[in-house]
Amino acid sequence: MRRRPAQSSGIFRGLSRTALLILLLSHRCHAALNVADGFNITATEVHVGQGTWNPAWTLLVNYSPALQPVVNVSIGGQWLQLVFDASSAYAVVFMKEFATCQPPSLPSCYSYKEAEKHGGFHVCSENNDPKVICDTRPNDRWSCTSFLSNVVNTTPHTDVLMIDGLEYRQRGIEGLDTMMMELSGPTRHIFSWSAVPVRLLTDNLTAVTPGPMNLSLNLFEGVDGILGGSGPTLSCRNTTLWHLLLQRLNATRGWGGFAIAAMGPLCFGNY
Ligand SMILES: *[C@@H]1O[C@H](CO)[C@@H](O)[C@H](O)[C@H]1NC(C)=O
Ligand SMILES: *[C@@H]1O[C@H](CO)[C@@H](O)[C@H](O)[C@H]1NC(C)=O
Ligand SMILES: *[C@@H]1O[C@H](CO)[C@@H](O)[C@H](O)[C@H]1NC(C)=O
Ligand SMILES: *[C@@H]1O[C@H](CO)[C@@H](O)[C@H](O)[C@H]1NC(C)=O
Ligand SMILES: *[C@@H]1O[C@H](CO)[C@@H](O)[C@H](O)[C@H]1NC(C)=O
Ligand SMILES: *[C@@H]1O[C@H](CO)[C@@H](O)[C@H](O)[C@H]1NC(C)=O
């Protein structure tokens, strides 16, 4: 997944030389793989020495019905399945009240009314200030220190996301909410943060140019949003959930970057 080409020079800036990501096969992957008839895929393995990968912390990655990698994140007191996108920065949620989950009846879909009950949800006042636009200029970070009273009277803004060569239009509003992620390390541990930037979609994600077989319409089926795995440089916000996670795991201090990926529901972590 990539952002639009004009901004692609910044891809992975947020992760470079910081996150050490290890992707490991787990047993839950096989059901999702669908090998076409007529040819066989062969797998080969090469012994490269003693020892095993031994990450200090591991985050489970599963796969959505459309084979998108998803991670389990709690936002506003609701556990959500978010597609992990290494090259964007926003934590994006589809909203139950605006019917922007696919399908709209998706049971786990984020509800801002639930989030309000939970107490940590705020809508940034910048949304309704036409002089402040949400883009990636370095000195234009939304501070989000004052809030609007509700979602309904908030003006959404549009942004574009490039995914698998398809350009998507996102329309939504910027807010803050409490977030949690569970990692396994020395023990299973739930990390939590308050006042983390979140983008709430008020319209369905739409592909600007629909791809073959309407892939664009199906890519986000059964998931609750997108977790950008980049730092704040690719956003208008002053931090990102992924950046806060790396900081909490001490991954932002002097670690070399490295990643390998494997097909199937995965684990990734750092050490
Ligand atoms: C795929 O594997 C099966 C079973 O080993 C074999 O019978 C078949 O010829 C193979 N097909 C191709 C295209 O190699
Ligand atoms: C997400 O994590 C929470 C907390 O550990 C857990 O209760 C829930 O079952 C998880 N959801 C999925 C789909 O793994
Ligand atoms: C982002 O801004 C909030 C105030 O809105 C502040 O509390 C927080 O420390 C800032 N985060 C970073 C990483 O600068
Ligand atoms: C989003 O698409 C669904 C159909 O998948 C539709 O029911 C819903 O009304 C749409 N939401 C908006 C805000 O257009
Ligand atoms: C793509 O979606 C449109 C609108 O939902 C539909 O009319 C069209 O038949 C679909 N095309 C394919 C190849 O499924
Ligand atoms: C990160 O480093 C600090 C200070 O060295 C330490 O207290 C903390 O436990 C470390 N966090 C993790 C998740 O290892």
Q: Which residues contact 76 (CB under 8 A, 6 or more apart)?
A: 110, 111, 112, 114, 115, 116, 118, 120, 121, 177, 178
* Alpha-carbon Rg for the chain in angstroms: 19
| pTM of the model as a whole | 0.78
- Which residue from 165, 153, 160, 141 is spatially nearest to 219, judged by alpha carbons? 165
Distance 15 CA to ligand 6 centre (A): 19
Question: Does the Cβ of 182 fall within 6 Å of ligand 2?
Answer: yes
Residue pLDDT, tens place only, 91-133:
999 999 999 999 999 999 999 999 999 999 999 999 999 988 8
Question: Does the Cβ of 233 fall within 6 Å of ligand 3?
Answer: no
- 3-class secondary structure, 69: strand
Question: Does the Cβ of 239 fall within 6 Å of ligand 3?
Answer: yes
Q: Torsions phi, psi of 263, nearest 5?
A: -70, 145
CB 179, CB 73: distance < 8 Å: yes
Residue pLDDT, tens place only, 74-91:
999 999 999 998 888 999
Residue pLDDT, tens place only, 181-196:
998 777 888 999 999 9
The residue contributing the CA closest to ligand 3 atom 10 is 238
Q: For all residues of the chain together, what is the average pLDDT?
A: 76
DSSP assignment letter at 217: H
Bridge partners of 260, per DSSP, are: 22
The secondary element (H helix, E strand) that includes residue 188 is strand 188-201
Bridge partners of 258, per DSSP, are: 20
Residue list, ligand 5 pocket, CB within 6 Å:
213-214
Arithmetic mean of pLDDT, 132-137: 86
Domain ranges of the chain: 70-249
Atom of ligand 5 nearest to the CA of 213: 13
pLDDT at 216: 57
- C-alpha span between 12 and 101 (Å, rounded): 28
Distance 100 CA to ligand 4 centre (A): 6
Atom of ligand 1 nearest to the CA of 40: 1
Q: Could you say which of 1.20.1530.20, 1.20.1090.10, 3.30.70.141, 2.40.70.10 is the CATH number of the domain covering 70-249?
A: 2.40.70.10
Residue pLDDT, tens place only, 226-243:
999 888 888 999 999 998
